[in-house]
Structure 1
Amino acid sequence: MWQSTVSLPLLSVLVLVAVRYWHHLGGFCRSVFSGGAGKGSGRRGAVQLTHSFVLMNSTHGQPDSVLQTFDLYAQTQPSLSIGKEKGEFVDCVVHRVAPTCALELGTHCGYTAIRILRRLPSSAKLYTVEQDPATAEAGEEMILVAGFKHSQFQMLISPSSAAIPRMRAELGVRAVGLVLMDHDVEQYLPDLQALEQEGLVSTGSVLLVNNTHAQGARDFLRYIHSNPRYSVHSQRHGMLEVQCQQGSIDGTR
């Protein structure tokens, strides 16, 4: 008899907790079940573990709190976010360039997207591309948790090679003032050439390119350094800032 007396109130409490923290529990469960099924799912597992920690420990609606919680997690656990030092470099470039349209290739946990959105002009928009649906879902939720709205950004869930041609034809984007590349380094050069072909980068556009030390980025670097239309403006913490100089970079359209 006493067991039922104790268990019923306890059951009620558990139900209330489950309802209140349903999204938190969901993120935790996703991280547990996605972590051990191979290389791709291991990457998703790292994203989901970060997502769950930030979701439960940050102050929702406050971008600074969300970013600080990301950085706190990265101090002791593996993280795919670019980190505070590179993040502050991104802050400076976005503030200086003040693009009306920005493109991020590789959303990951949403950390860099949040940093970009904090510094964009109020009328600007960010397009962020992530090919893995589970990773895209986690990144998008983090951006929303930070307090940004869908009117300020759009998630494109597809490979970058498919997303770039959509921007002009389907989304009506005419030019991109800032492009951040933080995805597959072997896609850097083909994606830049696709942006050129679509006429999306032009004089004044800025490229922020992560992981340029990787072997797969050699063709991209060779192309940038040998092309008079591009100039390396600065490099910090392994991230390169490239500016589009005067001269036609228009596509064939």
Structure 2
Amino acid sequence: MSDFHELRERSLLQYVIAKSAEGEPESVTEAMDVFWDTYFNGEGTAQWKLRVKALDDAISAKTPRTAMEIGTYCGYTAVRMGRHVPPGGKLISVEMDPLYAAIATKIIEHAGLRDRVFVEIGTVKDRLAAIQKKYSLSGPLDAVLLDHDVNSYLPDLKRLEAEGLITKGTVVLCDWSLYPGSDDYGRPLQVPTDGKEFMTYLAQAGRPTATHSLTGKEVFTVSSWTGVV
């Protein structure tokens, strides 16, 4: 990760703290929207709005008491999802980059969600057992958002299944857009080309998917089990 990227994410944090109302998640996400829209001169805004609507609709309908996000970046989707987690519930967001995790933690705290949204540094492969113990995760999650390396979607989904964390009632959300900090950001991500094996696995498992597309490009998939693998 370059110093340029570090400055960008630090600037985001400074902007959010300065321009949003503390303790108000909607104000925080609105400030982040303005920052990225300004930074990229509006490029990708339509895709971003489609992604946000698909996420909001799925999570608000589920109102998850336990959820997991894999790929926190700077905490935008953690805040959006966290708004719908009721008191006593928890969203565990896993981020492998320590700087992004630190920035996300502060943004989540500023949004007033520190009692229900928790950021863990590492990968699902390395941290799942510790996360299960720390947060007493013994039953299925209500929702999972996959928002990291597309090639890790299937292995991580299988890890969660093996631990009984994915079951019939779990909503699985797949973000096919590349976040600004990704090393691959800017290249055209093709779905299901990049995630073909993952999508095939979902289909074979009897899980119907609703994929939200814009100008022929897949952006976000919402999937629910009809049976347990």
Q: TM-score, normalising length from structure 1?
A: 0.74
Deviates more, 1:217-226 or 1:172-181: 217-226
Alignment partner for residue 162 of structure 1, among 126, 146, 165?
126
Alignment partner for residue 225 of structure 1, among 196, 203, 208?
203
What does 1:2-151 align with in structure 2 at a 5 Å threshold? 39=1, 41-78=3-40, 83-149=48-114, 151=115
Q: Which runs of 5+ in 2 are unaligned?
A: 178-189, 214-218
Deviation of the 1:127 alpha carbon: 0.3
Instruction: State the Cα deviation string for residues 1-27 of structure 1 (Å, max 9, x = none).
Output: xxxxxxxxxxxxxxxxxxxxxxxxxxx
Aligned equivalent of 1:239? 220
Q: Which runs of 5+ in 1 are unaligned?
A: 1-38
Structure 2 residue matching 1:76: 3-state secondary structure: helix
2-structure distance, mates of 1:223, 1:128: 24
Instruction: Kindly indicate whether structure 1 or structure 2 has the higher relative contact order, using CA contacts under 8 Å at least 6 residues apart.
Output: 2
2-structure distance, mates of 1:209, 1:114: 17
Give yes or no for contact 1:181–1:210 (8 Å, CA) kept in 2.
yes
Give yes or no for contact 1:165–1:198 (8 Å, CA) kept in 2.
no
2-structure distance, mates of 1:189, 1:246: 17
Instruction: State the Cα deviation string for residues 24-52 of structure 1 (Å, max 9, x = none).
Output: xxxxxxxxxxxxxxx45554443222222
Structure 2 residue matching 1:225: 3-state secondary structure: helix
Distance 1:116 1:236, change over 3 A: same
Distance 1:63 1:172, change over 3 A: same
Is the helix fraction higher in 1 or 2? 1
Sequence identity of aligned pairs in percent?
Answer: 27
Distance 1:40 1:106, change over 3 A: farther
Q: TM-score, normalising length from structure 2?
A: 0.82
Structure of larger gyration radius: 1
